[in-house]
Structure 1
Amino acid sequence: MKAIVAVDLNWGIGCAGELLEVIPEDMKFFKEKTIGKVLIMGRGTFDSLPGRAPLKDRLNIVLSKDYSFEDSRLTVCRSLDEVFENIKGYDTKDIYVIGGQSVFTQFMPYCTEAYVTKIHKTYSADKYFPNLYKEDSWELVSESEIKEFKSVEYNFLKYRKK
């Protein structure tokens, strides 16, 4: 299982249900990595998707404790156990955890890799991703050169669990 996320310098991932920054190359990277794969997300992340529609050509699993929430286009699960039941037939390398904060917190113990787009700026954030740089159980295994979009610098990092 893998995590994929964009973070700011403080490992913030969102504010008021929105991404901190939309970088086209990051969106392209996300799509390339996740197309044809299984995505695990929370209800807030699903609600933040364009048009509140599932991401195409991927199995969208939404973890939600709201029993009134149903959507026939999704696999809605009420617990971690139910998520694991729904993904047991899939190769773990084809499963991506995409947020938000609560879902990352619950699934990071099961992730072996994390793709992190590091945005070299600090934003006002109310949701965060674990700071893998400070986690002894994670190591940085690759990083791209620094790129720029509309004067915002960013790069792509890959972490692996030790």
Structure 2
Amino acid sequence: MDLIVAVDNNWAIGNKGDLLVSIPEDHKFFRQTTMGNVVVLGRKTLAGFPNGLPLAGRDNIILSTDPNYTVRGGTVVHSKEELFEELKKYEDKEIFVIGGGQIYEMLLPYCKYAHVTKINYDYAADTHFPNLDELENWEMIADSDEHTYFDLEFYFHKYENKNPLAF
């Protein structure tokens, strides 16, 4: 299992339920990386998608504690254990954790790789991602040249968890 996230200089990922910024090149990278695979996300993240619908071309698995929550075009699970049982059905596909904050925090120890778009800016934010540069098991194994979107600089980094937990 891997994860994909965009963060600012402070490892912030969102504010008031929205992304910090929308960068077309980052969206293209996200689409290309996750297309045809499995995405794992929380109910609140799904609610922020266009029309609140699952992402096309991907198997969407949504975590919600609400036992009555259902989603057309997605699979809903209600616990980490139920998620791991569901993921066994997708051994032939890559699995990407795509947010939000609580889902990243819960599943980070199980992820082997983290695809991090690092935006060189400090946004007002209420949701943060753990700083992988400060976590013992995580090491940056690839980075890109500088990319720009108007006056924003950003980079594509790949981190590896040297000791991911099995699920």
Q: Same fold (TM over 0.5)?
A: yes
Counterpart in the other structure of 2:65 = 65
Asked if the contact 2:113/2:160 (under 8 Å) is kept, the reply is yes
Any idea what SS the aligned residue of 2:90 has?
A: coil
- 1:132 matched to 2:132: yes
- 1:45 matched to 2:45: yes
- For residues 116 and 157 of structure 2, the distance between their equivalents in structure 1, rounded to whole angstroms, comes to 5
- 1:102 matched to 2:98: no
Residue-by-residue CA offset, 1:101-131 (whole Å, 9 max, x unaligned): 1000110111000000000000011111110
Paired residue type of 1:5? V
Give TM-score, length-normalised by structure 1.
0.97
The root-mean-square deviation of aligned C-alpha atoms, in Å, is 1.1
- Superposition deviation, residue 53 in structure 1: 1.1
Residue-by-residue CA offset, 1:52-85 (whole Å, 9 max, x unaligned): 1110010001100012321231100000111111
- Superposition deviation, residue 93 in structure 1: 6.3
- For residues 146 and 67 of structure 1, the distance between their equivalents in structure 2, rounded to whole angstroms, comes to 44
Give TM-score, length-normalised by structure 2.
0.94
- For residues 27 and 112 of structure 1, the distance between their equivalents in structure 2, rounded to whole angstroms, comes to 22
- For residues 93 and 10 of structure 2, the distance between their equivalents in structure 1, rounded to whole angstroms, comes to 28
- For residues 73 and 83 of structure 1, the distance between their equivalents in structure 2, rounded to whole angstroms, comes to 16
Any idea what SS the aligned residue of 2:56 has?
A: coil
Counterpart in the other structure of 1:13 = 13
Asked if the contact 1:97/1:104 (under 8 Å) is kept, the reply is yes
Of 78-87 and 89-98, the range deviating more from structure 2: 89-98
- Superposition deviation, residue 89 in structure 1: 2.5
- For residues 72 and 120 of structure 1, the distance between their equivalents in structure 2, rounded to whole angstroms, comes to 37
Query: For structure 1, which runs of at least 5 residues remain unmatched after alignment?
Result: none
Residue-by-residue CA offset, 1:16-74 (whole Å, 9 max, x unaligned): 11000100000000000000000000011100111211100100011000123212311
Query: For structure 2, which runs of at least 5 residues remain unmatched after alignment?
Result: 163-167
Asked if the contact 2:2/2:113 (under 8 Å) is kept, the reply is yes
Asked if the contact 1:39/1:58 (under 8 Å) is kept, the reply is yes
Aligned residues: 162
Residue-by-residue CA offset, 1:2-28 (whole Å, 9 max, x unaligned): 010000000000001100010000000
Counterpart in the other structure of 1:111 = 111
Percent identity over paired residues: 44
1:36–1:8 CA distance, 2 compared to 1 (3 A) = same
Asked if the contact 1:40/1:62 (under 8 Å) is kept, the reply is yes
- For residues 93 and 71 of structure 2, the distance between their equivalents in structure 1, rounded to whole angstroms, comes to 26
